[in-house]
Structure 1
Amino acid sequence: MGHRARPRRAAWAAALVAATLTASLTSGCTRHGPADDGRGPGPGKSSARSSGHSVLAVKIDNVGPARPQTGIGAADVVYVEQVEGGLSRLMAVFATTLPKAVGPVRSARESDLELLRQFDEPTLAFSGVQHKLLPLVRRAPLRAESPDEAADAYYRGTGKPAPHNLYVRPGELLPSAPGKAALTTGFRYGPAPSGGGTPETARTVRYPSARFTFRWSAARERWLVSMDGTPAETTDGGRLAPATVVVQHVRIRSSQYHDRLGNSTPYTETVGSGKAEVLRDGRSFDATWSRPAATDGTTFTAPDGSPVDFADGQVWVVLAPR
């Protein structure tokens, strides 16, 4: 998985406790950075590029006005998570290819910090966070690159209303794609398990206010994505079609944070273990997922204890409520 900086990890853990105490004493729910309310980046700010040794993760808007999105087809991994109001948001992780633009970019959540600890100091592109969450983001072992820190990397597109029109240029944040070795997800790639699995033509995952359907295309050998009953396409790559879809059943609980309307922000627990289904090659394979610690990747094993390998290509991980 690569070398981890142990002192920094301990400092981040201490900061987590301190930030939690601070959040309990602080009132208000303002945003970090001007972008999330639809305004442009502040003047005089420029991007400080990463060395490019780790992945780029981008928080992607996924409500109707934000679609079709841009750049997601180039991601190596796409995580689907529940947010306020039972809606969904995406996190696209890039390691082997950096597209020209990705978006629309939206705000980060507390769960993202835990999810991203599997990578070695990733760069996180996002539009902002709640003010109470800001101390955690600043002290997390990642490079936080909102429009406040990297104004030159962001721009407002046309054709969509704010705040659904903020885009990031990955090349302004990383000098180059870090490569497949940076994907310290714990995922394995290879042939499908020789036994087990059931034929699957379509699978739908529902959140309280959103749904995703993955329909197998034998011709393309990919799972065609639909969101809320509509085929999911991108502005630069056509239909979204991952090679592997993982339905990972997780605990989704309320966090201590709320949005501007007072809705509780869900916290998606990605450390632990549970049931999963791995969809590949037109079949569904029952699996158990395991991630003992936040700095670990996630492994998937069959009922007999053997690893479940993924097909080569893009992977979607749908973090579904248990």
Structure 2
Amino acid sequence: MAIGGHISTQSRQINDIGPVATVGRERGARGRRAATTAALLAATVTAALAAGCTGGGAPGDDGRGTARQSEPATSSSAIGSSVLAVKLDNAAPARPHTGVDAADVVYVEQVEGGLSRLMAVYATRLPKEVGPVRSARESDLELLRQFDRPTLAFSGAQKKLLPLIDRAPLRAETPRSASDAFFRGGGKPAPHNLYLRPERIVPETPGPAALTTGFRYGSAPAGGTAATSQTVRYPAARFTFTWSDSRDRWLVGMDGAPATTADGKRMAAATVVVQHVKVRESAFRDFLGNNTPYTETVGSGKAEVLRDGRAWDVNWKRAEATEGTAFTTADGTPVNFAKGQVWVVYTKAS
């Protein structure tokens, strides 16, 4: 199957991002102050407060590596209406993944060493566990600006990147900032065995309104080309999406094998977007000296949208980092996605 000379069996080579040192920080919780009442009721109110009120947020990381205590479920900083984004390992030893099937959107990003990383975004469902969790990258900060102060869960980041994460309009959570939310498990070797319990940091499901991605859902656009599969290649990884009539989904394959979750379910997407973007060098390098590519998700370009066993050549545009991404046909008609999980695979524009 060929779509505009780009889809089907044609491969695309892109750069990737490798491991970095795991260093965590967090943002301190806000305390609470109780209001006093009239003198006549002072004794009664004081007794009630003593019996029924809890303390304020726990202390944060002091910058010297002191881990904070986890925040209570009722902490004001723990409850919000924005999405939870989890940075996921995608090296072979990290598979199968846990909790990815509950994500609303799965982003596939370029990383060093020819490998890939995933970012799973949750708004309508929060799985019991997610993982394996790995480190953040500079590109993640631009990608997440489309959401209103999202929570980013990750294992840490390169030391020089930490100040940028601290200044970003997001809530960063790592094993150091929320030790009770992360755990080692899954029968895999470190560092591929770090998992997150989402309810420990986002106790309330954000809801569909938090998905400010710019994506539209509804009936398929006119036209398109019949498609059975799409493969995107990175130097040391590849993704194949194969249409299943029986499941009405695109079945996900990684490195030539079916991609499944830890409970044996086949990963499947209702819509797949292969988005051609600019990939440039960043100011960061991994511990081997490899440059960390920066994937630019603000701008415009070409993409292929796969849904319902068909594929469309489309245009994409994201004018500002705080905006979502619009996908349109050649005549400017907005492109609707199928209801269900969306995979967005970023690939280097030729």
User: Which band: TM-score by shorter chain?
Assistant: 0.7 to 0.9
Aligned equivalent of 2:305, options 278, 290, 315: 278
Tell me the residue number matched to 2:225. Answer: 198
Do residues 142 (structure 1) and 174 (structure 2) align?
A: no
> C-alpha separation between the residues in 2 aligned to 1:280 and 1:173?
33
Q: Summarize deviations over 1:253-277 as a string: whole Å, max 9, x none.
A: 1111011111111100000000000
- Tell me how far apart the structure 2 counterparts of residues 149 and 45 of structure 1 sit (CA, whole Å): 8
Paired letter, 1:294:
A
> Is residue 2:126 matched to residue 1:106?
no
Residue 57 of structure 2: aligned partner? none
The CA deviation string for residues 275-307 of structure 1, in whole angstroms up to 9 with x for no partner, is 000000000011000000100000000011100
Instruction: State the alpha-carbon separation in 1 of the partners of residues 223 and 177 from structure 2.
Output: 49
Matched, 1:220 2:250: no
Partner of 2:216: 188
Query: What corresponds to 2:152 in structure 1?
Result: 124
- Deviation of 1:50 (Å): 2.0
AA at the equivalent of 1:198: T
Q: 1:37: which partner in 2?
A: none
Give the equivalent residue in structure 1 for 2:99. Answer: 71
In structure 2, the partner of 1:45 is 69
Equivalent position of 2:87 in the other structure: 59
CA distance in 2, matches of 1:131, 1:163: 18
**Contact 1:45 1:148 (8 Å CA) reproduced:** no
Partner of 1:168: 196
- Who is 1:294 aligned against? 321
Question: Is 1:260 matched up with 2:316?
Answer: no
Quote the Cα distance in structure 2 between the aligned partners of 1:234 and 1:54: 25
Q: Where has structure 1 moved over 6 Å in runs of 4 or more?
A: none
Q: Which amino acid aligns with 1:200?
A: A
Would you say the 8 A contact 1:110–1:133 is kept in 2?
A: yes
Q: Name the SS of the counterpart of 2:180 in structure 1.
A: helix
Q: Report the CA distance shift for 1:185/1:158 in structure 2 as closer, same or farther (over 3 A).
A: closer
Q: Which of 248, 251, 255 lines up with 2:275 in the alignment? A: 248
Cα distance in 2 for residues equivalent to 1:236 and 1:70: 8
TM-score when scaled to structure 2? 0.80
Q: Structure 1 residues 64-73 or 153-162, which shifts more?
A: 153-162
Check conservation: 1:42, 1:151, Cα contact below 8 A.
no
- Give the structure 2 partner of residue 6 of structure 1: none
Give the secondary-structure state (helix, strand or coil) at the position aligned to 2:268. Answer: coil
Would you say the 8 A contact 2:107–2:345 is kept in 1? yes
Would you say the 8 A contact 2:68–2:176 is kept in 1? no
User: CA–CA distance in 1 between the matches of 2:22 and 2:126?
Assistant: 28
Conserved in 2, the CA contact under 8 Å of 1:71 and 1:237?
A: no
Correspondence for 1:13: none
Tell me how far 1:42 sits from its aligned partner.
7.4
Structure 1's unaligned 5+ residue stretches are: 1-28, 35-40
Amino acid in the other structure paired with 2:88: I
Contact 1:73 1:237 in 2 (8 A): no
TM-score of the superposition, structure 1-length normalised? 0.87
Shift of the alpha carbon at 1:45? 3.3
- 1:303 corresponding residue in structure 2: 330
Task: State the identity %.
Answer: 69
State which drifts further: 120-129 or 256-265: 256-265
1:229-248 correspondence runs (5 A): 229-236=256-263, 238-248=265-275
Shift of 1:176: 1.2
Kindly tell me the number of residue pairs found equivalent between the two proteins.
287
CA contact (8 A) 1:78 1:316 kept: yes
Measure the CA separation in 1 of the matches of 2:186 and 2:121.
25
| Equivalent residues of 1:216, 1:282 under 8 A apart | yes
- In structure 2, relative to structure 1, the CA distance for the partners of 1:230 and 1:42 (3 Å cut) is farther
Going from structure 1 to structure 2, the CA distance change for 1:228 and 1:99 (only over 3 Å counts) comes to same
Report the CA distance shift for 1:202/1:176 in structure 2 as closer, same or farther (over 3 A).
same
Say if 1:50 and 1:123, in contact at 8 Å, map to a contact too: no
Amino acid at match of 1:32: V
Rounded to whole Å, the distance in 2 between the matches of 1:70 and 1:280 is 24
Q: Which amino acid aligns with 2:23?
A: H
Amino acid at match of 2:24: G
Quote the residue 2:24 is aligned against: 33
Instruction: Please tell me whether Structure 1 or Structure 2 has the larger radius of gyration of its CA atoms.
Output: 2
SS across alignment from 1:305:
coil
Shift of 1:46: 1.9
Q: C-alpha distance in 2, partners of 1:136/1:44? A: 21
Structure 2 residue matching 1:73: 3-state secondary structure: helix
